[in-house]
Amino acid sequence: MNNETAFITGSSSGIGLHFAHEFARHGHPLVLVAPVRSELERVANDIESKHGVSAYVVAKDLEKENAAQEIFNELNGHGMRIDILVNNAGHGYRGKSWEIPIEQDISMVRLNIEAVLRLTKCFLPAMVQRRSGRILNVGSIAGFEPGPLLNVYHATKAFVVSWSEALAIELKDSGVTVTALCPGPTDTDFLPKADLTDTRAFQKASVSAPQEVADAGYEGLMKGELFVVPGAMNKAVVAARRLLSEGAQASLNQAFYKKVPSEDQKRERGDFEEAAVASRH
């Protein structure tokens, strides 16, 4: 039984949901955070019955300025210690910059950057004082290059990548580790919500199942690795694009996010996630 309590944002679906099961499978007590309480309670009940660990739920919209502090205060009030902080929640929107409402751009910045900062500011000081703790920030291979048609999302993930690396250096020899998980296209609800299911990013690229991403993230976190890029193709993409000019990177990504003809759309959301479930049974 692992007594390190893991706090996971965005844990009612996608990679966050599979993180919850992966941590629970290894015996970690959980704190699950997402906006809708009924969804969290279903996840918590499922985890407690399958894995026999406690799962405390907190329903909060992390885009709200006070959400992180309110969560921190609630957990402190219950005497709950957070040993592992998993900043997973995030979203993106595809489209031309001049057509996307500013509210959607600000929404991405608030969830993908501000919430990550605020939660880390809340929980990190106690980790440093105890000289033990782990932080897992979910970035993306998008964080390594510019992304026309998804430019604000790419920029938010570039922040996560850069900030995680700098924070890890500050925390060297502190007993606290930082890991940045940087997956490529992953078969979650992020894709339809970001208007990506009919693009080359999903229809033609190498796509991961969220279970595989969660497994890789957990393993890398527990080993104290700084960067985790799941999948051989994603590793190759990151390595290759670091050799290209920014203009070439941007052009490749712009093509990546263009829609493919309907007759060439063979994949549907859930194909890879369901196949991973089937392979494990």
List CB contacts of 197: < 8 A, sequence separation 6 or more.
191, 203, 267, 268, 269
> Distance between CA atoms of 51 and 14, rounded to whole angstroms?
19
State both tokens at 152: 């604000």
Count, in order, helices (H) and strands (E) of the chain: 12, 7
DSSP letters along 10-57, please? STTSHHHHHHHHHHHHTT--EEEEES-HHHHHHHHHHHHHHH---EEE
The pair of structure tokens assigned to 213 is 């991403």
Q: CA of 118: how far to CAs of 67, 122, 196, in Å? A: 9, 6, 29
Instruction: Please state, in angstroms and rounded to a whole number, the distance separating the CA atoms of residues 76 and 224.
Output: 26
153 carries an active-site annotation: yes
Give the C-alpha separation, 48 to 51, whole Å.
5
- The residue from 56, 93, 153, 218 that is catalytic is 153
Q: Which two tokens stand for residue 228?
A: 């985790």
Catalytically active residues are: 153
